[in-house]
Structure 1
Amino acid sequence: MIAETVCSAVSAAGLGIAVVTAYRKRYLAAARIAAYSLIPVALVMTGVVGWAADTAFSPTAWAGFILLGGSWALFATTRAVERRRGGTRQERKAARSAAREPVAPASSAPALRPTARPANRPAARGEASEDFSDIEAILKKHGI
């Protein structure tokens, strides 16, 4: 009974604010406020408020919410541990077996020619890259 009265008061206050907003010629905002203020009355008329009030004061309902929270906590904990370990048991086993197998067992020839310079070795002092020559030209132009 108290919950229905509170919802009716909230709706009446919201409709009053909507009227004031419409008086100020902000019709779109007034319509939006009116829509929000009708929600509490609609919830009372559908019986949701009565059900929620009965649920809020029921010890059985609170025990159910506590069990739901506990199951969620267990689920979240197991997922966190599983992610930290690197997946399920089968996924870890498959990853270990894949790591043992060679990537390309048939390729035994070197990928680079013996005379080619590896990409990670820096260029010699005499060699100038085209990218750096452009930068050097810009720096020389500005006297740096």
Structure 2
Amino acid sequence: MLAETVCSAVSAAGLGIAAITAYRKRFLAATRIAAYSLVPIGLVLTGVVDWVADLVFKPSTWIGFVVLGLAWALFMTTRAVERRTGGGRKAVQAAQRDAVAPQASAPSLGATRATTTGSKPKQEKQPAPAPAEDFSDIEAILKKHGI
């Protein structure tokens, strides 16, 4: 009841301001003010004001909003942790695309000898090939896009 009275008073005041504006020969502005002032009374007549009043003054509604906020906070926290650790959907998809045994393509004979004999394998220094062209920037772009 109080909300309807307030909305009616706001509409009446807005129509009064629109009338004063029209008297000053600013008809476009007066029409716009009249349109805005009719919105509160239209909301009262459609019942939206009662619905909003019930929504605002019900404790169970506010508890529902708190639960939704908590769910949102938990979701965003897990997303932040997932991004920080590098895990997540992209890492799972990349792991699924890898071979069953990615180290199987590496020569296993040298690693087996090193572990069985207990000695370190000799590292041969190969001279670096002379760079014909510098493709490091292109390689960085390709790595960035996972290619």
Distance (whole Å) between structure 2 residues aligned to residue 26 and residue 86 of structure 1: 61
4+ residue runs over 6 A deviation: none
Distance (whole Å) between structure 2 residues aligned to residue 13 and residue 47 of structure 1: 21
Compute the displacement of 1:92 (Å).
2.0
Number of aligned positions between the proteins: 106
Partner of 1:8: 8
Identity %: 65
Partner of 2:43: 43
Partner of 1:92: 91
TM-score (norm: length of structure 2) = 0.59
Letter in 1 for 2:40: P
Flag structure 2 segments of 5+ consecutive residues without an equivalent.
Answer: 103-128, 135-147
Flag structure 1 segments of 5+ consecutive residues without an equivalent.
Answer: 101-108, 119-144
The alignment's C-alpha RMSD in Å is 3.1
Q: Cα 1:112–1:45, aligned 2, differ >3 Å: closer, same or farther?
A: same
Compute the displacement of 1:87 (Å).
5.3
Query: SS in structure 2 opposite 1:25?
Result: coil
Compute the displacement of 1:80 (Å).
2.4
Compute the displacement of 1:15 (Å).
1.0
Q: Cα 1:32–1:86, aligned 2, differ >3 Å: closer, same or farther?
A: farther
Partner of 1:112: 132
Compute the displacement of 1:110 (Å).
6.2
Q: Is residue 77 of structure 2 the alignment partner of residue 77 of structure 1?
A: yes
